[in-house]
Chains A and B, each alone.
Chain A
Amino acid sequence: GAVVSQHPSWVICKSGTSVKIECRSLDFQATTMFWYRQFPKQSLMLMATSNEGSKATYEQGVEKDKFLINHASLTLSTLTVTSAHPEDSSFYICSARASSSYEQYFGPGTRLTVT
């Protein structure tokens, strides 16, 4: 099956700093990538949808200036958490979809801890 990677798999940062998370589709071209966050014992919450070469579409309640998403190529999307605070600590998961399919392939996730 298709492979999606995320980097880093876990990160600890200090409050006020910014953190960048990368999501790569390794063996297919991802026209659309999705970013989710998941709090402990909860379901995945869609944050935003990004299409290659265009601005991301954010879900209601997600601050676009805080969670910067860039989808510059068909194999890479990045999520930057700016001025991170402890409440941003969460599990962030990306997924990618090829134009020929509506199945999503998930990355392994990134665990962010803000101290």
Chain B
Amino acid sequence: AQKITQTQPGMFVQEKEAVTLDCTYDTSDQSYGLFWYKQPSSGEMIFLIYQGSYDEQNATEGRYSLNFQKARKSANLVISASQLGDSAMYFCAMILNKFYFGSGTKLNVKP
């Protein structure tokens, strides 16, 4: 069964605008972690942001914030003030006993 779902295969955003990448997850565990990674064309997985299931406040890291809605089991990534260098694949992931990755969203930032 799919544990992490990313419903947006591709997204476009205008430079300097904000964009939200969707992620929903499925687990009955109470303790889990949610991650977002960026993968540019080079292939390297770059850690962006982490949210623990018990964290009450939404995680923020610079221009990245995670909109964590536990009841809805969603963990959307918000990128503010998009930059051309943000163009990449973005993966949502959940850690239980191992990592589960979503199918990814390809973000294109237009100048």
Q: Which residues of A contact B (CB under 8 A)?
A: 1, 34, 38, 42-44, 46, 49, 91, 93, 95, 102-106, 108-109, 111
Q: Does B98 sit within 8 A of A, measured CB to CB?
A: yes
Q: Mark B50-63, 1 if CB is under 8 A from A, else 0.
A: 10000000000000
Question: Which range holds the interface residue count of chain B?
Answer: 10 to 19
Report A-chain residues with C-beta under 8 Å of the C-beta of B98.
34, 46, 49
A49 to B98, CA, bound (A): 9
Is B111 in contact with chain A by the CB < 8 A criterion? Answer: no
Q: Which of A42, A49, A91 contacts B43 (CB 8 A)?
A: A91
Residue of A nearest to B31 (CB): A102
| B contacts, CB < 8 Å to A | 33, 35, 37, 42-45, 47, 50, 91, 95, 98-99, 101-104
Alpha-carbon gap, A44 to B45, bound state (A): 10
Report the minimal beta-carbon distance from A90 to chain B, rounded to whole angstroms.
11
Separation of A46 and B33 alpha carbons in the complex (Å):
17
- What are 10 pairs between A and B in contact, CB < 8 Å? A43-B102, A43-B103, A93-B45, A104-B99, A105-B47, A106-B44, A106-B45, A106-B47, A108-B44, A109-B44
**Closest chain A CB from B65 CB (angstroms):** 19
The 3 closest A-B pairs by CB, nearest first: A106-B45, A109-B43, A43-B101
- Whether B47 and A46, one on each chain, are in contact in the complex, defined by CB atoms closer than 8 angstroms, is no
Bound complex: CA of A38 vs CA of B101, how far in Å? 11
